[in-house]
Structure 1
């Protein structure tokens, strides 16, 4: 066999993939232990940054200090909202920047609680400012989680979610020409948890630009509901109180709208083929 024939045979073997093959993101040269060390350093640095922001905050009353913490439930969000609301007018920049960084921290490390910060933003800030804040934080935090997953998450995803990741990889390949609309659809609908999307996207080859832009646009409709609920935070007893048939209908409409360009493109393609 000639050298040319061997090269052709090797190329063919490399291009043949089974249906369960997970698309690979660009490789990094770090070992798992080094990647884990880098992630830990980033996490500790982020905590130190949050600590510095806390130290820059104005002096709190003794009974208020206990409520300055990550909100794990609606009651925590209420108490935190009451404290921040007292200082918001005089220290608006500090309060908003603090919410901004904490939101990104939760999104970056896939820590639960961002829904309570969305509700809290609706309570503290004007509606459109809160919506822009939440969308920006979601896009930035998801993108940072994307990078961390690309650094460390490949082996974790393949070990703990191999079938789910393989299935989504095939779906992504099917929609590779409409990834922006597909990411928007996933963010609007609850079919896949946001943390799972953030962790698996780089592993199966989703590019960063449609991922980040799709996140920014796609989180707007559910955030709209959460922020609107935050305007009546003191009356909420559960996060389920934020949802109604009207809000579900609105989210369904947005999900369908995100698919319209895909359907139109497919229709035009069939027409001209």
Structure 2
């Protein structure tokens, strides 16, 4: 009789338990996705409302003219960007604070949901606010926006990220295990390297147990050179012919060289640490 009960448990109950666990996982994943969709929808509506309720600008004739209105508020080419700068430069004369608010909301929106286009937004900031003010603003917004992306990925998008980016997650886990004694330096190098997909780091790093404090600090410090290049290009936008001119071969080599130097320095420091404290290595 006991053998029959064990057989029934093996045939019926065990698969049923697995099925229930699978359904619970699917239900939890759906709830998270619904939460993410709700946050995305709410954020989009807030951005639309902030733009719709903006104060009227003067002179009205300039802003109502079709040739002066930008086709898109997320520029894709230098000509789009120039039109946007002309438009908002006039708007800034009477509503500089509201313009800063609009820019900040749009920037945080793009960063939080890993939407491409921060490069053009950085150049726009340089053109509108000047090099150094724009650099401070952009560095702060990048850090806050990336941190929001970190939390959204950790709390809501984890199943989706694990499904679509499993290979990248495994690679990151391996790299951080190998570089556990210089984890922050490794993070910094990843941010400095010009070919790193920053959006992918923002959504994957929370799932490999990187603390938010280390994540945010690496974003703020590591992206300063990149942000500085962009806002400098924005401050001389009239001389810019194409976005690719910002990252010339020389600029790319310099950023890559800086990344290598920091990484080599961290390796030397690790060897020195291991020599004096071998029990920790």
TM over 0.5, yes or no? yes
Structure whose alpha-carbon radius of gyration is higher: 2
Once residues 67 and 82 of structure 1 are traced to their aligned partners in structure 2, the CA distance between those partners, rounded to angstroms, is: 13
Question: Which residue is 1:236 aligned to?
Answer: 240
1:109 paired to 2:83:
no
Question: Which residue is 2:146 aligned to?
Answer: 142
Q: Which moved more, 1:157-166 or 1:115-124?
A: 157-166
Q: Confirm or deny: 8 A CA contact 2:110 2:118 kept in the other structure.
A: yes
Question: Which residue is 2:9 aligned to?
Answer: none
The aligned runs of 1:1-273 (5 Å cut-off) are 31-54=28-51, 55-59=53-57, 61-62=63-64, 63=66, 64-67=68-71, 69-259=73-263, 262-272=266-276, 273=278
Following TM superposition, where does structure 1 have runs of at least 4 consecutive aligned residues deviating by more than 4 angstroms? Answer: 64-68
Q: Confirm or deny: 8 A CA contact 1:104 1:141 kept in the other structure.
A: yes
Q: TM-score normalised to the size of structure 2?
A: 0.80
Once residues 212 and 50 of structure 2 are traced to their aligned partners in structure 1, the CA distance between those partners, rounded to angstroms, is: 29
Listed one character per residue, the Cα deviations across residues 21-68 of structure 1 (whole Å, up to 9, x for unaligned) are: xxxxxxx9x811111111111112212221232112434622345446
**How much has 1:140 moved relative to structure 2?**
0.8
- Structure 2's unaligned 5+ residue stretches are 1-24
Once residues 202 and 43 of structure 2 are traced to their aligned partners in structure 1, the CA distance between those partners, rounded to angstroms, is: 19
Q: Confirm or deny: 8 A CA contact 2:188 2:222 kept in the other structure.
A: yes
Once residues 69 and 176 of structure 1 are traced to their aligned partners in structure 2, the CA distance between those partners, rounded to angstroms, is: 42
The structure with the largest helix share of the pair is 2
Q: TM-score normalised to the size of structure 1?
A: 0.82
Q: Confirm or deny: 8 A CA contact 2:111 2:146 kept in the other structure.
A: yes
**How much has 1:177 moved relative to structure 2?**
3.3
**How much has 1:109 moved relative to structure 2?**
0.6
Q: Confirm or deny: 8 A CA contact 2:150 2:206 kept in the other structure.
A: yes
**How much has 1:69 moved relative to structure 2?**
1.9
Over 3 Å counting, the alpha-carbon distance change for 1:258 and 1:95 in structure 2 is: farther
* 3-state SS, counterpart of residue 181 of structure 1: helix
What root-mean-square deviation, in Å, do the aligned CA atoms of Structure 1 and Structure 2 show?
2.3
Over 3 Å counting, the alpha-carbon distance change for 1:160 and 1:68 in structure 2 is: closer
Q: Which structure exhibits the higher relative contact order, with contacts defined as CA atoms closer than 8 Å and separated by 6 or more residues?
A: 1
